[in-house]
Structure 1
Amino acid sequence: MIKKRPETVAASALGREDEATGALIPPLYPSTTYIRDPDNLYRRGRVYSRAQNATFDTAAETLTALEGGAETALFGSGMAAANAVFLALAPGDHVVAPRVMYWALRAWLEGFASRWGLLVDFADAGDIDALKAAIVPGRTKLVWLETPANPLWTVYDIAATAEIAHAAGARLAVDSTVATPVLTRPLSLGADIVMHSATKYLNGHSDAVIGTVTTARQDDFWATIKTVQSQNGGVPGTLEAWLLQRGMRTLFPRVRWQSASAQTLAERFSAHPGVAEVLYPGLPGFKGHELAQRQMQGGFGGMLSIRVHGGERAAIATAAHVSIWKRATSLGGVESLIEHRASIEGPRSPVPADLLRLSVGLEAVDDLYDDLSEALAQAREI
């Protein structure tokens, strides 16, 4: 049998067909419960749909194959997926996370997780020595990375962090939402867990809120994550799971197109008079560029940020004058989005006030450049 390449696995949804009808596209199973056998057993393996809905299978098993993992669990959102990893720990366990990371998860770690009893420290994960100093052997149970990290697109060294974490007896979990398995496979670099806000690139069409966690091995920690999934009830709906498997069929061409367009825009805006700085791992002058070259294969992602000359006022005015770019929160969809991140994150945000976060979609790259360039010019005239 031919060993399928990742592009084929994604596009064909593992090559499955519906046995009952011959349908090429997997069906939805809206049933919430399943028939028990006459002798009181469940030989077909399903009892209740909270975590055992058959619609989950294709998406979960496709992602497991793409990540090179042992199993994948689906959750009702990226936050639910991330929370499940931390809730699989015990009160009193020590966690190390990066200073630059998704702001909502950082707020959850500072708030609920700390009140629940986790001991959380934030470190400069881009400095391996600083990261190593933050990890306490025997006490630290989990190191969390997000790479590239939203919204400065900092690139963290997965392999080096995995080595340090494992030497201290800790696990490494990686939020790979922006990289996707198209560009980076954290488990192959030593991570134990990879998490996605699958609402973003994996679904790719801005029509399903869903999250995923994939494990490198089926161990006790994974069993606890699965228990959290089921007992907390943070699972997706049937339609969302179906939309995820639908979206992953086009994952590779979407991410590659978006990465190529983002690279072009990053290079062109680096020379734009209205832009003070472009943050993008694909630029040679970007601090994490050499690491990104080693860790990301085939592109540097569809996300970049620009810092606008004229500060916060000019940045907000720029976003107000776009027409093709859409002013909306989220990322990874087929449409291009622009957002003034500091306004979303609030006064405690580490994000510069002059920064605009850009999620590059599938539109013509010249149209995207012209639209934003014109908006920058209009903002300068105000």
Structure 2
Amino acid sequence: MTDTTNPLGLSEHSHGSDVQVPDSKRDTRTRSFDVADFPVPTGREEEWRFSPVRKISDFFADAATEAKLKIDADLPAGISVEEISLESAQELGILEPEDRAAVVAANRASAVTHYSIPADTELERAAIIHADGTGDTLGHGHVVVSVGANSKATIVVEHEGLARYSELVSLVVGDGADVTFVSLQLWDDGTQHLAQHDAIVGKDAKLKHIHITLGGDIVRLNTNVRYSAAGGDAELLGLYFADAGQHLEHRTYIDHNTPKAKSNVHYKGALQGKDARSVWIGDVLIRPEALDIDTYELNRNLILTDGARADSVPNLEIETGDIAGAGHASSTGRFDEEHLFYLMSRGIPEEVARRLVVRGFFNEVIQKIQVPEIEDVLNERIEEELSRSVL
């Protein structure tokens, strides 16, 4: 069917409980904290074939570096921060990474920065963590956020400045907890940022994970979710705007390994300028034990100028016939001329009409974020991007 609310004319489809998708190798990838378990990527691997591997080759080197981000945190009552060892972090139940760069970051970070929220705690406001780059020397980081049972929290991490930064972010969401985690990539030109975000979601817990990527030369972000018990709900939202020469890559993986869980992935991006590049890879695995789950993933890309390229690859693996629903959709295209004609026929100049279409395209995701602390900066940055566009 055609989604008439989509200015790109997206064609969507769903998989019912009687549909089986052929097996793939997604669930057999290495998971480990041992760097030796991961060969150095060449760019020919499935998980690296879209990435500019040669430009980030030193991110794979198992070597210590001195660079660190400058952290300024505004934390409300109820959340504490401390430095712990990697061994202590593993005892919290964090997931093992699947990416050599992330494993190197975990092992070469000077310490693990642990933000902790105890059980039965509701933060009165969002925790804001501002991370500022300090130059073009490669640095490593490992951040762990653990949220106790039946707690509610919003954590926002803002990245700005110039940096070459590799990190692992590990989220542990306790039973019945409700967590929103927002990562803003507002980097300066010249920044290279690789990150893997791994989340384990507890029984009847809710996780809303949000990536906003508007800056940096090369940004590659992986987000992986698993469930520790039945009833978990994960929502992954993303928004990106690639300019000339930027490579913005987002990968999501939902591992449905428990019954009665839910997941929803919704990423949208716009591209403008020569050699602007975006990549979105969405993987969902529904294991045999994942009975009565419901999942959907969606990616839409809006091409504003010639010379830009967007790759969008949704993958859905179903290993059981007893599911509530599973579907995916993706699209890449230009403006729908009918939308432009409609606006212009009502006296709106063409340039303004085109900007309105772009704002409306992004607004679908912005409305779902529901974090007032980032709405103003997000809208301001999008306006800056639009002011540079040739519409």
Query: Going by fraction, where is strand more abundant, 1 or 2?
Result: 2
Same fold by TM-score, threshold 0.5 exceeded?
A: no
More helix by share: 1
User: Normalization by structure 1: what TM-score?
Assistant: 0.29
Q: Higher RCO, 1 or 2 (CA under 8 Å, sep at least 6)?
A: 1
Say which one has the larger Rg. 1
